[in-house]
Homo-oligomer: A and B are copies of this chain.
Amino acid sequence: MTPPPLTGATRIVPILAHPVDHVRAPRTYNPAFAAAGLDWHMVPMGVAPADLAATLAQLARVTNLQGVNLTIPHKAAAFALCSRVTAEARDTGMANTLRLEADGGWSGANSDGIGFLGAARANGLLDTARPVVIAGSGGAGTAIAFALAAAGVREIDVFDTDAQRAGLLQQALQRQFPDIAAGTRREALRRAGLAVNATPMGLHAHDAMPFDPALLPADAALFDIIAARDTELMAAAASCGLRVLGGRPMVEHQVAHQLAFWRGDFIPTELRR
């Protein structure tokens, strides 16, 4: 549905990112707001990490603010600024969806894992009996790892060029889900039923690929969460005969969850950190 024109009665939902140029989310959210009969508009704002706290403090004073969406690199810092969080935000230490409560504090949710699972299931990519390998242990990779574990996947490896960060995620995952096998082995690609790109590699043409999809079993699937474009990784995986999904369905599956959160339709199950 075509979004209605902005007016002074429009409630705004800034999406904070840095850099902001690659952000395409408003093209998904604004039609979804219109389809839900809401005069809301998502507005891109490029905000450097050092400016996040002050920007949120100012946005909290804007009278027509409906909520805030956060993407790279703001999710962990946004979580730290919340006074209340959902279970998904608490588990991951990340918030990508903020709303202002009546007491002036921010409530934070994390829709990344929920959107990932919804898209993977809707497209038949999730077989919880098979190992999953995730490239990238940042905000999205963390949310996806926790969502997969909560969904019943028993073997999850997360690797990263920042090996220390991947190791910390492995430990956090293992602590929360003692029964699963959490690892950091890139080699697990050879046995995976599903490989996930949760790195920013592929955002720009000529980026290197985060891994070689030829390493995957022939019946595996690739989920590249980059939504801005079809990546070289997706093309390479398709040419290997793998099932391939890009990032837009994940965004679409997040919208309903975030929209409900911004409406205040549901109360976070975990109110206090």
Contact = CB atoms under 8 A, between A and B. Distances in A.
- Among A3, A6, A21, A45, the most chain B Cβ lie within 10 Å of the Cβ of A6
A201 interface: no
A47 B46 CA distance: 19
A222 to B, nearest CB: 25
Interface in A48-72: 48, 51, 54-55, 58, 61-64
Nearest to A71: B8
Q: How many copies does the complex hold?
A: 2
Interface stretch (A24-32, A154-162, A164-172): A24-32
A19 interface: yes
A54 to B, nearest CB: 6
Contact of A62 (B41, B42, B46, B64): B46
Contacts of A12: 43-45
A76 interface: no
A17 to B, nearest CB: 6
A106 B41 CA distance: 27
A-B pairs, 3 with minimum CB distance = A8-B23, A46-B63, A6-B26
Given A7-B27, A8-B19, A8-B44, 15 more contacts: A2-B2, A3-B5, A7-B24, A7-B26, A7-B44, A8-B46, A10-B44, A12-B45, A19-B63, A43-B43, A46-B62, A46-B64, A54-B61, A55-B58, A58-B58
